[in-house]
Structure 1
Amino acid sequence: MITKETTIEELVNKKPKSVEYMSKKGIICVKCGEPIWGTIYEVCKDKGFNDQEIEEIVKELNNL
């Protein structure tokens, strides 16, 4: 199960389709091959998403 505390590395390993999904959300460094460190929550916060939006992203990632 993916949670907001899942690291980006774990996410990509568990759900390869997440790369395209995250790219569409504006988190494009996953796709370009640059390493992203931290959790889904941290990365989304850095991109300006609020807690409710992050919860929706996590839900959608689990449904991929």
Structure 2
Amino acid sequence: MLKAYVQLQLIIDELYNAHDKAVANDDDEDASLLVSRADRLYEEAENLNLVISELEEK
């Protein structure tokens, strides 16, 4: 699960970087979509991190 969490973080970083590039190119529609997906995956990653932490406590 930790490997999946790390990979998810890398994807999130790539999405935020793509968002920044879209903003720089005045592509507001793509920027909005990218940041929305990144934010959603960030929430999922945080939930996964909680599960990992709970399992480590056992």
TM-score by length of 2: 0.35
TM-score by length of 1: 0.33
Q: Which structure: greater helix fraction? A: 2
